[in-house]
Chains A and B, each alone.
Chain A
Amino acid sequence: MAHGRIRARIRRSNLYTFACLRPRTTEEGAHSLEGPGFSRTVHCNQPHLHEKKPLHYCKNNISTTKYNVISFLPKALFEQFRRVANIYFLLAACVSASPISPFTPVSMIAPLVFVVGLSMAKEALEDWRRFLQDVKVNRRKVTVHKGDGVFDLKAWQKIRVGDVVKVEKDQFFPADLLLLSSSYDDGICYVETMNLDGETNLKVKRSLEVTLPLDNDDAFKDFTGKIQCEDPNPNLYTFVGNIEYERQVFPIDPTQILLRDSKLRNTDHVYGVVIFTGHDSKVMQNSTKSPSKRSRIEKKMDYIIYLLFTVLILISMISSIGFAIKTKFQTPDWWYLQPKEAEYQYNPNNAALAGMSHLVTALILYGYLIPISLYVSIEVVKVLQARFINKDLQMFDEETGTPANARTSNLNEELGQVDTILSDKTGTLTCNQMDFLKCSIAGTAYGVRSSEVELAAAKQMASDFEEQESDLSNFPMPKNKARGLSENNRMGGEIEMERVVTSKSDENKKPAIKGFNFDDNRIMNCHWLEEANSDVHLMFFRILAVCHTAIPELNEETGRFTYEAESPDEGAFLAAAREFGFEFCKRNQSSIFIRERLSYSGQPVEREYKILNLLDFTSKRKRMSVVVRDEDGNILLMCKGADSIIFDRLSKNGKTYFEATTRHLNEYGESGLRTLALAYRKLEEQEYSAWNNEFQKAKVAVGSDREETLEQLSDVMERELILVGATAVEDKLQKGVPQCIDKLAQAGLKLWVLTGDKMETAINIGFACSLLRQGMTQICITTMNSDSLTNNGKEAIREHILNQITNASRTIKLEKDPHAAFALIIDGKTLTYTLEDDMKHQFLGLAVECASVICCRVSPKQKALVTRLVKEGTGKTTLAIGDGANDVGMIQEADIGVGISGVEGMQAVMASDFSIAQFRFLERLLVVHGHWCYKRIAQMICYFFYKNIAFGLTIFYFEAFTGFSGQSVYDDWYMLLFNVVLTALPVISLGVFEQDVSSEVCLQFPALYQQGPKNLFFDWYRILGWMGNGLYSSLIIFFLNVIIFYDQAFRANGQTADMAAVGTTMFTCIIWAVNLQIALTMNHFTWIQHLFVWGSVTSWYLFLLLYGMISPYYSKNAYQILVEALGPAPLYWIATILVTVTCNLPYLTHISFQRCFSPMDHHILQEIKYYKKDIEDQNMWTRESSKARQETKIGFTARVEAKIRQLKGRLQKKQSSIGALSPS
């Protein structure tokens, strides 16, 4: 390590009573590994033996790409032609060469090639990015044994099964390893498995005794061994295998297995043998192929396409039948067609065949109903939208230097429709870093700094105050105005004070010490000696310093101790103890040494505490104790643990500070802090030795009930405690998390927290994020004591849970208060039952009613299951956000997966659809980008169908006037260019640049976001409205033109219009009408939109001009049409104006009417902004903005509102009582 650190070399396994049970090697003997599923053989340190079959296992490089060079073309093509529309166009292109086709082959094939090519290029690009990501992981380096005891760096991908690797501290394991030895004498090491299961506390792994001597590089010169073990499987917590070493066979169990993607912690280095590589490793076996997700809008779009196909088939049928009838009965009379000579497709003698062949013709001809460029336009738009997301500076994290990244662009618009967010906790909401913030000693609360939650709430309260003040002054205050005012002032004063606190702590918020953010002069710098119960203080500090499993490390440069603790809170306690003057400086096998400073000036005194027993922390026990003998010979049991557990174990005379401490604990909980209660007990020598005898006996005993006995014995000891105080540690939230959650809540989103952590932690974080607050009814659903599990059977438990659920649902139904809020808290074990088919709907029904839901101790699989339940049960869009590999399942399962990037593990990001560096960016991602993208895509698709219906139907109408013969009134080139050029760019600019309101307004009015989840812009009402608009436009365009042009001369020179003139005029009208329509649809015109919209119209005339100029060999009847025929004719121009205006008049009337009489949210906001009301009329502005958040039940805004309601209620009560006292 860079800074020389000195660490006591001790056998750490002695520390643990529970966590690191001795493996029962000698008793049990080797596993018998027979039969299928246990075929893997690993020759340790002889990787060359694995180069040939059958022992050739897969390489250690991983690949998450969808395609490779060879499979790209077929696979990507297959993907493209899974879309019905594309198949249709492919078939159309195929028949376009035959005489049946109404168009030239080029005009069918060119757009298809263009469209499919573009989509495939995009796929290729995205896969390429994934490939680069893989390469980065595969090229990570690790130290590998090269032979003769020489170790050298090697890339991960080159590691083979059987290699011996040396992993250094804070590195990831490159593959699944068998732990051989570690830098600790007893071969244990600490592993962080956050990427696998999300648990933050470190796991202890220990090597086999026989391999302990392999603790330096040279020892591997001649090391060989043979491992027989299970085949690759996805179970993270099981492993069965044997190692044959030095002619003896030893069993291996999961404690010796180091899994890929977990991280070595607190241990300098370990040696290990590679067992599973690459895709064989457990973590990779666990990962499923990321499903390709499609957004809701796109799925709905399919239905629209089907609808249009139906229409297409319908009108094709109509025209084929019409054609057959005409051919049969009328064309024989049409001598000018020479019907007797007719080819089969016009043959009146075989009208049926003619009709059939015409059906094909018609299907191709009316193909313009299906917008061929829709998919590709959407893809282009989405890629550009994704680029905007990637480029957004306000989602760029300066600290880690990572921008937001839209990894797939398929789901942009889905971001605007999210209903439920499922969030991981550690690493997502919190930084997993604890700061000692407050404490309560002997019934007195210390610590003046405020937690982030308090700060945020205070800020909110202060800003809300002015607005609330006006409301308050409207209260009926008949006589006692002065009184009311003073009440107001009091409240103001309170807030004033909080404000001072806020600003003060903002200034000196420079926590120089990791894990310590405490400030209170009463007990700092030995001032505690002057406090009333200084002996209690002393005990408090001693418990902090002694009761833990950490090891000190002396940093030689600074001369200070840092601590390597299992969990960050322990580190925070030790840092706090150090700052209070109780520096833990040394640990050896039997003792802890504390440097205690007991006076202001005096030198610290080093005291020794002999550790007699250590009863370590388990999630079941929820407490930890040490039994120590101090220098005076007293035996003390020091205990820290969850308050509920400790309070149950207090002695009668140990409850002196019980009430005060409880109050403080509630306050701390309310401020979102993580609390533990501290207590101790003095033991008599005899009592102790009697107990210890039993305990030691139990410890060495062999048998299945050993653990249970130990627990019972511990339980006996940890009673009759004397309460000393409580600690409050802030689990540091990531920056801006409470604010973000608040905004998301205002946007109407539900937030579920799914965490692998224990319930208390989760609840604390719930408080910290304002997901929970005082006054909220917490519904905890748990299983009964797990002991009864075996006898009563599962049925009873299920019954029990079901009861809880139905009771809770009933309570919610009976609740009258509209402001009442409920929170559901459930743990993993219970979830296993509730996720079963028979109960999950009840559970979901309950969960949906609750304002916030917290699931704790859930496994990665359960996270995915819960996500699926929410997704499928509510049918609404879910978003999962997480940072570790344990979130991968959930991220893949959810409609949208968001990964937190910037931390080391990349699994979550690799599986995600979007990655952001910080949770707080989620707000902008959803409320701004999601909202915009949703509206853009929705409007764009609607418009697309509109324009193609408006255009496509005119072809059909014309058909009806040509005897359904399949003739098109438009030139092939017009039609070719319609989708690809003439109307392509405006709609793309709508999809990329449209903004209903600016990003600031989006953020100020998160409620606007609800337009997405409510799907206001893509419901059938709106879609059909647009289609109706298209139908109307097509009718107007066709019939007005036909009536104007059909027989009369259209210019002063007497010429009548031929087909080319009518077609061109009609087409001009279409171009104008659809472009004016899009201009009316847009709210936001930058120069780009102006250029594209008006440019499209101009480009049509330009095209016409140029097309008319080229040789008539190509332009045919369109030759010189604009210059010679149409341009000089005033009728052409005024007909265009008439048709264009008539087409758009209903839409204009509709939007005018809507805006005037039933405006939507964004209309109002636009107008407020437009009239600059926000500046002129502050009151209205704030009223509007507060209106937007009335509904929320979580977030600190809701918390503040609840508080204000409380105050108001009190005020009212007071007034009424005053009124009653002094009748007028």
Chain B
Amino acid sequence: MIHSLFLINNAGDLFLEKHWKSVISRSICDYFFEAREKAVEPDNVPPVIRTPHHYLINIYREKIFFVSVIQTEVPPLFVIEFLHRVAETFQDYFGECSETTIKDNVVIVYELLEEMLDNGFPLATESNILKELIRPPTILRSMVNTITGSSNVGETLPTGQLSNIPWRRAGVKYTNNEAYFDVVEEIDAILDKSGTTVFAEIQGVIDACVKLSGMPDLTLSFMNPRLLDDVSFHPCVRYKRWESERVISFIPPDGNFQLMSYHISAQNLVAIPIYVKQNISFFETGSSGRLDITVGPKQTMGKTVECLVVTVHMPKVVLSANLSATQGTYNYDPVTKILLWDIGKLNPQKLPNLKGSLSLQSGAPKPEENPSLNIDLKIQQFAISGLKVNRLDMYGEKYKPFKGVKYVTKAGKFQVRT
């Protein structure tokens, strides 16, 4: 099982270590540093590193490497999932998961890690249970603590751990009972030079914020459940009912959680909301090049495309860009070689265009590789797959909750090749 955890920042400083079994010397991290150096980019460090006696499994989150040490055969996904859970818990507790917040809250971090794993076996990883055991820090509480001398360690039994519904604590009470659902869809796509779709799929999630008293039993149904053939549910969802009736029936955890995620890969269902006309070329002589990019709406069902950003990863030899944008602002970073064009709202009447010249390092040969465009965008009140929630019913409790559904479509890994 998971033996130890080391947290290492981007500069290579080991700033926290935690051992659940015997202590393993931090020199084990030398193998990690070696791999880190070899990978150049932090993102490229291999997730599983073999050392003579141990295996190091690591993830990279918010400029921190979470490096875990295992000694016996343990499913690597198990370890990676757990590390993700650790990072999410820190995020949840401290608002952000960074070196500073971890150092500031080191005692809580330590208590959390102790509760999350026992001898390498996961103990309590549900945020609801953890919050019962160890209360998250708030300004108010730290003030109260100083005055009253109480602490952030819960005095109660983590009741959830004993029940059959470990994700929900008992005796929840709200004055305003409300349940909100966000349908968030991300389009992952690769378009080739000519604008044809090489590959496209939709990653969707339904995030929920449920603040309901007691033990509510909810049923969520869709107008078009047939769209969903590849789904992953939160453990609270009754899978059998989904199989037989295509409705989502569950007793929700308290607060924020991800109800389900789904994946739509059928080509005909994935609409591409915009088109990009681009021409980036470099001249054989003269150490220069030309750039011309136009973006226009395609399949948006009448909705407005917002927060449109085009990112171009330029070849190394490109020194500067002298461009003019008909809309939005552009910025070329000569260090990272990234051209960022922030367009904002897409106006179908007046298509945004970015045009101008690029200057190259003199004497350098014409770059071989083609720069690739990454697109970021957002469409409010619209799920690009067409998924629609039909209704939400509540059983088991008497009050009338306030309900709401929001849709949003975003670009995931949306790439245009040139």
Chains A and B come from one and the same complex: no
Chain B interface residues (CB < 8 Å from chain A):
none
